[in-house]
Structure 1
Amino acid sequence: MQWNMKRGAAALAVASALGAMSAGAQAQSSVMLYGQVDAWAGATKNLGASDRAWGVNSGGMSTSYWGMKGSEDLGNGLKALFSLEAFFRPDTGKAGRFDGDTFFARNANVGLSSNSWGTIKLGRITPPYFVSTILFNPYGDSYTFSPMIFHTYLGNGLTGAAGISGLVGDSGWNNSILYSTPDFNGLTANFIYGAGEQAGHNGQNKWGGNVLYFHGNFAATAAFQQVRFNSNPGDLNALVTGFSRQTAGQLGATYDFGVVKLYGQYQYIKNTINTGDAKSNGGQLGASIPLGPGSILASYAYTKTSGAADVKRNTWAVGYDYSLSKRTDVYAAYFRDKVSNLSSADTFGVGIRAKF
């Protein structure tokens, strides 16, 4: 009996020790499931079109996605990180932003983070230029209502009319390395390099970075990137004959006065083409005005493209975003777009966005 009691006590001690070790391990690592679902109903008339299409669509205020991310504490201020994020379309249930999109198109990377020297990530990564673009306009990353997103990332549908009036290279870069500095009293910097990974195209790459500064009610950014291919090395020539390189720069700032938050951006894009460079100058002014539990959103963007064709683009949007809770909001917005020599386009609708 005495031996059995001692054996039971020893087993209990071992179990307690293992439980403590397990609890410690759980405290040092974490995995999170998160995302957002955004759908809206309304109508869209495209540039140059005569008819309007009505329907239920995805991604009114922001693109729907789900993701998993995790971290493990390695000690001495060092952590291992990973992130996997996939877009989807709630109006059809399809994966991706469009048919044929990469599954983990938003992010798919792994890295290390240190309190003292910063963070390094490897994989498919959102470039810093995109981050600066969405943080400094009132409509964020809306591919439906944000004038700045249209001028920055949705200009290439106008290739035939305006040369190249937007960025190439996508809002997610494959085969890339990102370094982010620690936070120096609100000042951070991010640098990214994307490899082409094809023999015979070693000079085909993407690289860029941004600087972000947040202090009280004021924030500012400067961003730059250079891209030598769109999806695969050598494919810029398929957009415009002789197109070999694109460089882009952006400045942005916001100031929150309490009664209104003002946004401003300036952008310059140069497309190097052997028959003559094409250049775009423009920017965005916007405002967010608190009203009740939501905000009135207004934004205007202007871009002038010169080179193969001299084209002007004017785009504006106004809307109201109403918060039902910290994670759910409903919105209504109107968007209007005009490009030289094309009939105007517009979009209007109402939607709901839920975050989890």
Structure 2
Amino acid sequence: MSGKFVKYLAGALIAATSAGSALAQSSVMLYGQVDAWAGAIKTPGQSGTAWTQGGGGMSTSYWGMKGTEDLGNGLKAMFKIEGFFLPQNGQYGRFTGDTTFSRNAYVGLQSDTLGTLTMGRETTPYFVSTILFNPFIDSYTFGPMIYQTFMGASGQGIVGDSGWSNAVAYTTPDFRGLTANLAYAFGNKAGQAGQNKWGGNLLYFHGPFSATLAYQQVKFDNTPGDLNSEIPGFSSQRAVQLGAAYDFKFVKLYGQYQYIKDTITGGNISMNGGQLGVSVPLGTGSVLASYAYAKSTGASDTRRNSWALGYDYPFSKRTDVYAAYFGDHISGLSSGRTYGVGIRTHF
């Protein structure tokens, strides 16, 4: 065996060993969930009921990939890309025209002692606080608090979406159950430096008790300057939310309070509201109940009452079935209702 070949073989073994060590310090995961349901929908103000097979009864379907690389000394590089899709027709996104990775698409650094800094498209801290403190979590079909907060018409709910593009976000390390999250989104348009979105939340978890405080200010919805097209003179929105929950084991109680103010040249709109909910173990599953109320004053005087009752039964840690009824009433309109059964599985 020649000396050159021995050197080549030794070099190859060292390279292979080094590559194996590098791979061992990195990880990439594919995951997601599929949620589909069948039932009926009558929106407030409509005269008829539509029988439907839809997606996202309890949770919006999505898939994603995430990964980390250990850089040493308690520092990791990390990324996450997640996209929604509609299982009822196979289209990507939450709706027609939604972007491919509208749930999350970011890269960043994570430190054991300094926290996590990421850049890209980010789920907002306000959305996280909203879903953690109501029993229907992130259900856009049956969840009263989610529906009132993120599905309300102009002057009745949040603008700026549940995820922000062109954003920078920071999460503190956990300090005895307390963490803070901050996010800032750029308008990315020349001459529109003042058009931005920013916000944050505090999250506290200690035994059976948990609580949150969230705040955000938004000066555009999708593109800088577009609030004026929704309501003439609409320039910005501020929102604050308080939430708390306590798990007694035989029942878990949820409560939220929310205040939203739209700054409008022709007259501001303010909205006060909140949500009370319970989750009660029954058999292997849980009974879910929630009531949400909102009242808008100022240029718009609107009241909204929403309530929901459901049962969620897990077949396993990955798969559950559910049945739910959602009632919705907006002042001046006929009542709406949604009811149905569905199945959800995680992978």
Category of TM-score, reference length = shorter chain: over 0.9
How far the C-alpha of 1:290 sits from its partner, in A, is 0.9
Match for residue 206 of structure 1? 197
What is the distance in 1 between the residues matched to 2:312 and 2:68? 33
Amino acid at match of 2:185: G
Which amino acid counterpart does residue 195 of structure 1 have in structure 2?
F
- Kindly provide the CA deviation profile for residues 203-257 of structure 1, in whole angstroms up to 9, marking residues without a partner as x: 1100000000000111000000000000001000111111101000000001000
**Equivalent residue in structure 1 for 2:185, among 182, 191, 194:** 194
**Residue 342 of structure 1 is aligned with which of 333, 342, 345?**
333
Query: What does residue 73 of structure 1 align with?
Result: 70
- Are 1:31 and 2:28 an aligned pair? yes
Question: How many equivalent residue pairs?
Answer: 347
Superposition TM-score, scaled by structure 1 size:
0.95
The letter for the 2-side match of 1:318 is: L
- Counterpart of 1:60 (choices 57, 60, 65) is 57
Confirm whether residue 313 of structure 1 aligns to residue 310 of structure 2: no
Shift of 1:17: 3.7
Q: Distance in 1 between matches of 2:36 and 2:87?
A: 7
| 2:109 corresponds to | 112
**Could you tell me which of 182, 199, 202 is aligned with 2:173?**
182
Q: Which residue does the alignment assign to 1:226?
A: 217
Secondary structure class of the residue paired with 1:22: helix
Deviation at 1:55, TM superposition (A): 1.5
Partner in structure 2 of residue 170 of structure 1: 161
Q: CA deviation at 1:19?
A: 4.1
Q: Is residue 103 of structure 2 the alignment partner of residue 98 of structure 1? A: no
Picking from 115, 124, 133, the partner of 2:121 is 124
**Mind listing any 5+ residue stretches in structure 1 that lack a counterpart?**
none
**Local SS of the residue matching 2:117:** strand
How far apart in 2 are the matches of 1:84 and 1:139? 25
Q: Deviation at 1:308?
A: 1.3
Helix, strand or coil at the partner of 1:233: coil
User: What are structure 2's unaligned runs of at least 5 residues?
Assistant: none
Query: CA separation in 2, counterparts of 1:142 and 1:62?
Result: 5
Residue type of the partner of 1:30?
S
In 1: Cα distance, 2:17 partner to 2:192 partner = 54
Structure 1 vs Structure 2 CA RMSD: 1.4
Whether 1:290 and 2:294 are equivalent positions in the alignment is no
Q: Secondary structure in 2 aligned to 1:42?
A: strand
Identity of aligned residues (%): 63
SS in 2 for 1:343: coil
Instruction: For 1:103 and 1:97, locate their aligned partners in 2 and report how far apart those are by CA, in whole Å.
Output: 10
Question: 2:194 corresponds to which letter in structure 1?
Answer: G
Cα shift at 1:8: 8.6
Report the equivalent of 1:245: 236
Match of 2:258 in 1: 267
3-state DSSP class of the match of 1:89? coil
Cα distance in 1 for residues equivalent to 2:8 and 2:99:
51
For the residue of structure 2 that corresponds to 1:271, the secondary structure is: strand
What per-residue deviation string (whole Å, max 9, x for no partner) do you get for residues 61-88 of structure 1?
0000000111110010111111111100
2:45 is paired with a residue of what secondary structure?
coil
SS at match of 2:212: strand
Alignment-mate amino acid for residue 247 of structure 2: D
| Partner residue in 2 for 1:145 | 142
Aligned-partner Cα distance in 1 for 2:17–2:251: 51
**Structure 1 position 310, deviation (Å):** 1.8
Cα distance in 2 for partners of 1:230, 1:11 equals 60
Q: AA paired with 1:120?
A: L
